[in-house]
Structure 1
Amino acid sequence: MKRLIFSLLTLLGCAAAVAQTTVSGVVTGGAEPLIGVSVQVPGTGSGTITDLDGRYEITVPAGRDTLSFSYIGFTPRLVAIQGRSTIDVNLSEASEVLQQVVVIGYGIQQKDDLTGAVSVVESDQLTDIPTQSLGQSLQGKVSGLQIIPGSGAPGADAIFRIRGIGTLNDANPLFVVDGMILNDISFLNPQDVQSVSVLKDASATAIYGARGANGVIIISTKQGGGEGTINISAYTGTQEVVRTIDVLNATEYATLINEADVNEGRQPRFPNPEQYGEGTDWQDVIFQQAPIYNAQLSFMGGGDRSTFNLSANYYRQEGIIRGSAYDRFTTRLNNSRQVTDWLNVAGNLSLGYNTSDNISTGNILLTALRADPITVPRDENGNFGDASAIGNTGNPLASIFYSNNESQAYRAVGNAYADVSFLENFTFRTNFGLDFNYDRNRDFVPAFRVSASQQNEESDISVFNAYRRNWLWENTLSYANDFGVHHLDGVVGLTYQDNFGEFISGSRERLVGSDPSFYYLNSGDVTTASNSGGVSGGDWGLVSYLGRLNYVYDGRYLVTVSGRVDGSSRFGANNQYGFFPSVGLGWNVSQEEFWNADGLISRLKLRASWGQTGNDRIGDYQYVPRVANGLGAVFGRDPILLPGASLTSLANPDLAWEETTQTDIGVEVGFFNNQLLFEADLYRKVTSGILFQAPIPNYIGANPAVRNVAEVLNRGLDISGTWRAGSDAFRYSLGANASFVHNEVLQLDGNTENFFGGGLGVGGQLGTNSRVGFAAGSFYGYELDGVFQSEEELNQFAQLGNQRVGDLRFRDQNGDGVITAAEDRVVLGSAIPDMILGVNGSVAYSGLELTFDLTGQFGNEVINAKQMARFGAYNYEARFLDRFTEPGSSLTDPRITIAGQNFETLSSRYVEDGSYVRLRNVTLGYRFASDLTDRLRMQSLRVYVSGTNLVTWQEYTGYNPEIYNGSVFDNGIDRGTIYPIARTLTAGLDITF
């Protein structure tokens, strides 16, 4: 009997097994696969999750015909099986904002629980634009974040500004990559990035204390997990200059130079200008179409207790200016291991190596604009043309040919940490990170002669080597718990960071040969040797104590309190420590019982915050006096030079932190079941005690000490909105963000009314002025009042110097009949835009997807300084054809001269509108269906074509209105030295196995 019963049970079990079915498919959210989606058979214990490509496979017991799909931030779905073995599902993002997890300082929070102003950009929004720079990938995607392409040179990084410029010093934000605190992210490969959190207000940034005043950008790189996958992605393309500047051809040039000669009392030098025809456009000579390549290989996987992600990337970009190029190789390894139930260890390591072929961009680019178009690049014998004979410039092609300047950079950035969980709700983390840089540069110039002004009599070589190491050790204790409707979490910590770097350089002349095998110092004449060395990259340390507490009541009422104490070696004993607190409040109105979630407004959240942060980027040891060694003097009766030293900068033992106080009021609104999301923040940010080397009387005999001398206001409005709609077959989205900012100097040192800066290269003339009531670094000069049309007007209006008919006329602001620098110069504009705009969208039908990005800025001006400072018969830009030749011929453009007052004085004539709108990127891609990829043994296959910087609508007559020169006193001045940006067309593919 027992044997019979056992046999029957076995048969029933086999029948049940036969009745089971296996279902597989892909779960997506929009056009992207979703990782970790819970797939369940309702009413049973059967379940699984999707892998890194959104794929799942599940066994369905007999009698069950339904699958449930759920994922944080997406609307759950029940799907009938109906005999199918393959079921692909697309989940709606209608409620994504409610439970989206956001990485913040020393922790994570759900988006709905945040009291601070934080914007998040995910990886799929970063990889459309073919660039090695994460910054340029972010341009136009975050409200309140301005991205400036500081240069179009190969390998150049972008400049970040969050909510304006609140300091006269370094205004860059702080970067945190996988927990490692850094000052730059130039090493980072955008394809390794999982998400970017931009922290904008004090509630979000106060946890970073003395370094949070300029905002914080937290970057999380891709970790492992799920079934093992291999991803291959690559693209290739071509680049060209976006626009060229219209300059005179040879006939026009000869005509205007003749006219300038006559105007200045000389005989015209070109008897027959027409004989020269079009001549040489030197921009065509130096610019080229340049290739770009990128290839990425990554392995990712893991199980319940360990994960890994290994990637390798090669990127090459040749420059659109001949002779420039950039190669970069990076590799990254991220892994984690759950050693026990209470111990988790993990590490992140990035290794990078890059080389750059450099040229003297400023010299070559400006020379190409100014070189006369009559001279040929090379003559019939192959010799370089002498551009100094007519226009007093060099030959830019020769400058490229004789340039042998190569840079190499090695960088390792990584961290390792251990998490210890205890007493259910506590986690202790110890994290150690290291950032190590090693840079080399070798510059060889052979002996050559193109002309008397463009030659190198003896070959020479210069070598530069530098290293920098920066280590960070952080220890934090976290707590999180729920008590009914109460949620409480917090973190306290103690951190240490130390930075040091050093450089050494040397040079020699008269090398024994010009082959690269001789590019070493010992190949040169020992009698010409020189060397130097010193600190590179800073010598500073920081110790910090931090804490934050978050409280949420019933998902409705939110409170965040945080603070940090920082002690820095950059400040003396009198003010070595600073305390930076913040408080944030939030109210999820739509969580209240009275709220009708089915109405027009499906979600409403109100936020408010206040806090103080700091900025310590002033250089090292500014609180002690500076002394210069290597000086000498002759004392006594015997003429013997004795070694000595001299005080060069005064000390300031009371040096204190810059302190930024910021208030933020925000609102988050969802319409139509959160298909339309809107967010706005109104803020006021005042930075007081700004550190600056304010001028002192010359009779002191030393440079001034750095002091707390200024106060600057930034107030503004950040808004963003996103609309998403569609079905599985057809989806579309449209997003836009705008940032409005008002910058104003509120206070300066009592002894100084103006801080001048921005050299224009003309007799020491400075182009910017920071003064109370105006934006920091405002343009400052004379207001154009027309052109002197006659001798009568010369007698009627005030003059600046010895002016003649046809010269520019400047407005006499105080009406005293005299034009003076002290009384008649005014603010002419600012490089800080009033508004920054970003628009992005996508349309997807089946496997086909089109995405686009627009960026723009409005309300800023540019000084077109490359048209000024003329010291020879340089070529002119085409605008000079509209010159004054006789009374009434021009009311805005002066007579033609070689140099003189019309070119040497900053006026509104040289200040142009810097507003623009740019079609930043358009990408058309196609993701092949699973029936094809399955046959090819692939998980996914996507091909695409992409265009970047396709069209720019701008009024500015230069290459690019986004001008960054490294300082608030220098921004917006176009001296013709910044490498232009490129228009790029690429084609690529992504394959996952």
Structure 2
Amino acid sequence: MVSYIKSLFLPYCFLTVFAAYGRNVPAPGKPGARTFAPDTSGADSLTVLKQLIYFQTPGKLSTSSASSAEGSDFARTPVMSYPLALGGRLPGLNVIQGNGQPLNESWSISLRNQTPLILIDGIPRSVTEIGIEEIESVTVLNDAVATAMLGIRGSGGALSVITKKGISGKQQISVNVQTGFQRSLENLVSRPLGSYQYALLYNEALKNDGLPAETYGFGQTALEGYRSGSDPFKYPDVNWADQVLKNSSMFARYNINTSGGNRFVRYFVNLEHVSQDGILKTSDINKYSTNASAKGYFARSNVDLNLTDHLSAGIYIQGRIINTNEPGNNGTANLFSSVTTTPGNAYPVYNENGTYAGLARFQNNIVGQNISSGYSQGNIRTVLSDFYLKRDLEDFLPGMWIKARASFFSSLRENITRNKTFAVFEQTGVSASGSPTYMQYSSNSLQANTNGINFQNRSDFEELSLGYSKELNRHGIDAVLLANRDNLVNGSNLPYTIQGIAGHTSYNYDQKYLLEISFAYNGANRYPNNGGFRYGFFPAAGLGWIVSRENFMKSVTWLNHLKLYGSYGKTGQDKGAYYTYQQIFSTSPGAIFGSSAGTVTTAEEAFLANPAVTWEKAKKLNIGVEGSLLDNKLSFSTEYYSNRFSDLSIVRGTSNGLLGIDYPNENIGRERYNGWETQIKWQQKKARSGYFISFNASFQDSKLLYNAEAFQKYDWMKHTGQRVDQAFGYIAEGLFQSDAEIAGHATIEGYKPQPGDIKYKDLNNDGLINQYDQTAIGARKPTVLLGSFLGFTWRNLDFTALLQGKMNRYVNLSGNSYWEFQNNGSGQAFENHLNRWTPATAGTASYPRLSTGTGPQDGSVNNWVTSSFWVRQGNYLRLKSVELGYKIPVRFAGGGIKSVRIYTNGLNLYTISSKTFGDADPENYSGSYPIQKIFNLGVNVQL
């Protein structure tokens, strides 16, 4: 495998240009989440980042908003997708994980509630699975000055990954091995009802629906059979989660990297393997695995060269191979869906003769689905290569340079599916000889083998830039002007190309008064005008004042640094219109004129074109203060931002049925986001010990300014003026307790409520509950993100911990994993349904009367609609990761070994959440693949 990865490097050795990552830049500026490890790059992450994306202003002399996390802080976090290691580390960055399946974690990432552009070494990329040991730092860019040069891709901010580079010095080799085991965090799949309780509640629900339990439910004989367990074939009691899920699985990561160099060449080479096993049980009947698992192989080589005294170059190449596996026939997601919707008394796992059991309505035995439906594999292959040349122009003008860079990227995913079916039988009676008789619902089939390319894309990026950097007396200036082109071909789509020019100028006087100006003039080929390109201009400017450098502050010895800064500018966001300005017609025969028996071909719009389509826009204001004091032991930063988004691509809320076709997306929406972000850190280090603690918090509010919504009869029904993505529904006022209470309440349109049903507020006091009584429900307060990173070192011992939290978060509990008897009345029921309303529990019930969703008194019509009853508080605080390490003294390490560090760490170890979830995980509280708690043991050897 290693030789295969190495072979990927040769065809992609193309050169690309970076700005030099100057080792003579001043020390760190803005406080970030950092450990006590020395900064081997010689510059703070913001400085390195800015040099990679074109300009060289040190962090202390910048007016932009950016914060970073060092790769060494999360390098040993047991994840395959690096964004999963970032939650809680950076202010304004929200990382959500909705699934625990290896490499299918359903994670999402937002920056100030927008989707950021991902940059790897300054070039836009879609890759989020790379060797985590190759990451030097991850930086978020928030404001207009930091992102204006991205042009029509800058409104969402940017998440920039900087990979490690070589340094001049003796060769260093690092070997890191870690292995551990995983256990599932609890979700509602873990808490189904047993068959006896299920049958009792089902009979109760039938009675509530006005249906006789004797006819449609379970009789006394069946109830006794479920209670006693005397006949598990006739009266099964199966916990399906226990049948197909393991208690634990394995995780492992192996890494080796080396770096070094001299005045002519510097290199960093990294090889990494990650293996994450799944929690699905397998069987010896197969010669292959049906478990959900993922394996990743990553390789990177970063080489920088000084070709002459004035000319430098670099080749950065990365390759990855990722293999996934899961059961056949729609895989893991389908399996968990079956577990959620199948009650324990539906059928036994096996019949008496050893065949798979089932029923007419449950023809896909879950255990068979897991181990007897074949398997499916996914194979991802990616090659990324960057190349740069840089020539200083010192002989022409000191401080001037020119550089060119190019980058090439190619990725594909091949799916190999080997499905088969299996026979399922229902025992229907006993033959004359006394043996069971069966009804067969499906049959065994030979394995069907198919493969195909599920996804592929490729891109190329080219850029030419000219820069100038100079300090003259008290004046300092950095300037760059560039032209670039980014071309992406995604699958069978036509090429998507963004091109244009951009520039940045930074000026400071006496490193005290700061001015920054950024701009971009670029466009995409999917908009009308100028032969397929439409260009936009995106300017931004920032001002800063380093107060601590003023003469009147010299006597304030306890203050080391204090800066006030702010920026304002315009950015864009391209939604990939894909030529929607062109009117497309579809043809189909069907019109008959006169008495002719033939047809005439007709034409109609395939969709309604929008000739004025354009990109979305944002005007961003950012104001901040940062500082450090007490010999830099205490550092802090606080920012306020207000971002107004316009020309958002939406569909009008007033649809005209006479038009005969849907309205197109139009650039008419407007939204506003504003909030505060703060981070504070205390650190102190002595000769052989030290400690640090950092805290960050983000507060964000939003407002929908315009979305062309349909006319609303009452103000409380209007979405305009509410929070963005505000949920709407009925306001619940508890549960009806009696017929008398129902008689005295407003009538529910189209439904006659029963005691135990949810009672809704009559907002317009017209005596009728209908759509005019729906209003905003759930979150009304600013969303709050919290994070804290802390640790200490004492002699050879070190410890770090990361906490992540969210406040003013609300969730809507619904669907198969929370409501009872879903799937047309045949679904599962869970422990939360034991708290349902009955005449005996009327005073304490927290769940409405049960319903099967059928019958003349079907309660689902009223109780399962969207309302505040199901919107619950979703706050939580999670101990995201912990690590404890010990460095073995060199005298015990052996010859040639510089250090040996053994460590243990954990992920998702402990969570405090609102009572909404009980003991269930607050991120994955439904019935999907549970998020994993991971315990690791590792060793790192430095040679």
- CA gap of 1:230–1:152, structure 2 versus 1, over 3 A, is same
Q: 1:877 aligns with which of 800, 825, 830?
A: 830
Match of residue 287 from structure 1 = 245
Q: Which letter does structure 2 place at the counterpart of 1:647? A: E
Quote the Cα distance in structure 1 between the aligned partners of 2:702 and 2:353: 58
- CA gap of 1:684–1:875, structure 2 versus 1, over 3 A, is same
On the 8 A contact 1:562/1:581 being kept in 2, the answer is yes
Q: 1:340 aligns with which of 283, 308, 325?
A: 308
Q: Deviations for 1:208-236, whole angstroms, at most 9, x for unmatched residues?
A: 11111111122111111221222211111
Q: 1:919 aligns with which of 879, 883, 902?
A: 879
Say whether 1:783 aligns with 2:731: yes
Q: Deviations for 1:916-971, whole angstroms, at most 9, x for unmatched residues?
A: 111101111111122223x33212211111111011122343854337xxxxxxxx
Match of residue 857 from structure 2 = none
Deviation at 1:366, TM superposition (A): 3.1
Quote the Cα distance in structure 2 between the aligned partners of 1:553 and 1:704: 54
Say whether 1:200 aligns with 2:136: no
Aligned alpha-carbon RMSD (Å): 2.9
Quote the Cα distance in structure 2 between the aligned partners of 1:796 and 1:659: 52
Deviation at 1:833, TM superposition (A): 6.8
Match of residue 397 from structure 1 = 367
- CA gap of 1:71–1:738, structure 2 versus 1, over 3 A, is same
Q: Which letter does structure 1 place at the counterpart of 2:452? A: F
Q: 1:486 aligns with which of 451, 475, 482?
A: 475
Q: Deviations for 1:737-792, whole angstroms, at most 9, x for unmatched residues?
A: 000000221111265769xxxxxxxxxxxxx9992122222222212122222222
Deviation at 1:477, TM superposition (A): 0.7
Quote the Cα distance in structure 1 between the aligned partners of 2:731 and 2:546: 52
Q: 2:180 aligns with which of 234, 237, 251?
A: 237
Deviation at 1:978, TM superposition (A): 4.2
SS at match of 1:932: helix
On the 8 A contact 1:261/1:897 being kept in 2, the answer is yes
Match of residue 855 from structure 1 = 804
Quote the Cα distance in structure 2 between the aligned partners of 1:74 and 1:487: 18
Please give the residue correspondences for 1:85-104 in structure 2 after superposition, counting only pairs within 5 Å.
Answer: 101-104=47-50
Say whether 1:257 aligns with 2:202: yes
SS at match of 1:101: helix
Match of residue 985 from structure 1 = 935
Please give the residue correspondences for 1:286-325 in structure 2 after superposition, counting only pairs within 5 Å.
Answer: 286-288=244-246, 289-322=248-281, 323-325=291-293
Deviation at 1:986, TM superposition (A): 0.8
Q: Which letter does structure 2 place at the counterpart of 1:325? A: S
SS at match of 2:170: coil
Identity percentage over the alignment? 23
On the 8 A contact 1:135/1:158 being kept in 2, the answer is no
Q: Deviations for 1:819-871, whole angstroms, at most 9, x for unmatched residues?
A: 112x0112222499710011111111111111111001111111122234541
Please give the residue correspondences for 1:366-765 in structure 2 after superposition, counting only pairs within 5 Å.
Answer: 366-374=337-345, 375-386=347-358, 394-401=364-371, 402-422=373-393, 423-450=397-424, 455=442, 463-465=451-453, 466-502=455-491, 534-535=492-493, 539-573=495-529, 576-596=534-554, 599-628=557-586, 631-633=588-590, 635=592, 646-694=604-652, 696-749=655-708
On the 8 A contact 2:652/2:707 being kept in 1, the answer is no
On the 8 A contact 1:442/1:462 being kept in 2, the answer is yes
Q: Which letter does structure 1 place at the counterpart of 2:469? A: A
Q: Which letter does structure 2 place at the counterpart of 1:680? A: T
On the 8 A contact 2:26/2:58 being kept in 1, the answer is no
SS at match of 2:788: strand
- CA gap of 1:256–1:621, structure 2 versus 1, over 3 A, is same
Quote the Cα distance in structure 2 between the aligned partners of 1:159 and 1:811: 36
Q: Deviations for 1:247-290, whole angstroms, at most 9, x for unmatched residues?
A: 21222111111212222322241415354259332222333211
Quote the Cα distance in structure 1 between the aligned partners of 2:485 and 2:790: 43
Deviation at 1:485, TM superposition (A): 0.6
Match of residue 949 from structure 1 = 908
For CA contacts below 8 A with separation 6 or more, give which structure has more relative contact order: 2
Deviation at 1:243, TM superposition (A): 1.2
Q: Which moved more, 1:599-608 or 1:921-930?
A: 599-608
Match of residue 765 from structure 1 = none
Quote the Cα distance in structure 1 between the aligned partners of 2:224 and 2:25: 74
Q: Which letter does structure 1 place at the counterpart of 2:162? A: S
Quote the Cα distance in structure 2 between the aligned partners of 1:160 and 1:247: 29
Structure (1/2) with the larger strand percentage: 1
Deviation at 1:376, TM superposition (A): 3.2
On the 8 A contact 1:133/1:188 being kept in 2, the answer is yes
Quote the Cα distance in structure 1 between the aligned partners of 2:360 and 2:863: 20
Q: 1:126 aligns with which of 65, 69, 74?
A: 74
Q: 1:358 aligns with which of 323, 326, 332?
A: 326
- CA gap of 1:261–1:430, structure 2 versus 1, over 3 A, is same
Q: 1:898 aligns with which of 852, 855, 859?
A: 852
Please give the residue correspondences for 1:792-831 in structure 2 after superposition, counting only pairs within 5 Å.
Answer: 792-800=740-748, 801-821=751-771, 823-830=772-779
SS at match of 1:251: helix
TM-score normalised by the chain length of structure 1: 0.80
On the 8 A contact 1:203/1:560 being kept in 2, the answer is yes
On the 8 A contact 1:735/1:839 being kept in 2, the answer is yes
Q: 2:220 aligns with which of 242, 265, 271?
A: 271
Quote the Cα distance in structure 1 between the aligned partners of 2:475 and 2:901: 46
SS at match of 1:482: strand
Q: Which letter does structure 1 place at the counterpart of 2:879? A: L
On the 8 A contact 1:133/1:158 being kept in 2, the answer is no
Q: Across the two proteins, how many residue pairs are aligned to each other?
A: 840
SS at match of 2:56: strand
On the 8 A contact 1:254/1:270 being kept in 2, the answer is no
Deviation at 1:388, TM superposition (A): 6.1
Q: 2:117 aligns with which of 157, 174, 179?
A: 174
Match of residue 10 from structure 1 = none
Say whether 1:212 aligns with 2:169: no
On the 8 A contact 1:97/1:111 being kept in 2, the answer is no
Q: Which letter does structure 1 place at the counterpart of 2:618? A: T
TM-score normalised by the chain length of structure 2: 0.84
Deviation at 1:362, TM superposition (A): 3.6
Q: Which letter does structure 2 place at the counterpart of 1:447? A: T
SS at match of 1:620: coil
Q: Which letter does structure 2 place at the counterpart of 1:400? A: N
SS at match of 2:769: coil
SS at match of 1:594: helix
On the 8 A contact 1:147/1:158 being kept in 2, the answer is no
Match of residue 144 from structure 1 = 92
- CA gap of 1:141–1:753, structure 2 versus 1, over 3 A, is farther
Quote the Cα distance in structure 2 between the aligned partners of 1:395 and 1:903: 31
On the 8 A contact 1:613/1:660 being kept in 2, the answer is yes
Deviation at 1:890, TM superposition (A): 4.8
Quote the Cα distance in structure 2 between the aligned partners of 1:697 and 1:600: 67
Q: Deviations for 1:386-412, whole angstroms, at most 9, x for unmatched residues?
A: 2666xx685433322215222111111
- CA gap of 1:490–1:787, structure 2 versus 1, over 3 A, is same
Deviation at 1:892, TM superposition (A): 4.2
Quote the Cα distance in structure 1 between the aligned partners of 2:450 and 2:45: 57
- CA gap of 1:326–1:595, structure 2 versus 1, over 3 A, is same
Q: Could you tell me which runs of 5 or more consecutive residues in structure 1 were left unpaired when the two chains were aligned.
A: 1-69, 76-89, 166-170, 503-533, 755-767, 964-973
